[in-house]
Amino acid sequence: MSTYLIAFAIGDLVNETATAKDGTQISFWAWNADLGTDEVGLSGPWMDRLNVSLDTSVKCFEVLSDYMAFKFPLPKLDHLALPQFSYGGMENWGLITYDYNFVLFKDGVKI
């Protein structure tokens, strides 16, 4: 692993976690704050959006793992939605970060 691929996040965060069929723990994290809009806030809809993002992440992880016949080398994979992130996304060793506008959707929203 290259050292420039290490990432960590510190802050008041909330998360939802699920286990993929190969045993990998997958978590989706988001900032625990009211961002001042009706689209994103800590109340119920925020956690609902985490669940939608987590479910989608687990499904994609499993499909890609099966398709490529690849066993993910880490015991866990974390996703982090950030309110102010200059890049659309950034993949690091075990932590993938996103601008929350790209990953936190209400259930039933067509992407």
pLDDT by residue, tens only, the chain of 111 residues: 677 788 888 988 889 999 999 999 999 998 876 554 444 444 455 667 888 899 999 999 999 999 999 999 999 999 998 877 777 667 788 899 888 878 887 666 666
Q: State the architecture of 3-102 in CATH terms.
A: Orthogonal Bundle (1.10)
- pTM, two decimals, is 0.80
Indicate the domain borders of the chain. Answer: 3-102
Predicted pLDDT of residue 58: 97
Write the DSSP string, 15-55.
EEEEE-TTS-EEEEEEE-S--SSSSS-SSHHHHHHHHHHHH
Query: What kind and span of H or E run contains 65?
Result: helix 44-68
Cα 56 to Cα 85: distance, rounded to the nearest angstrom: 21
CA distances from residue 50 to 11, 62, 68, 105 in whole angstroms, order as listed = 17, 18, 27, 8
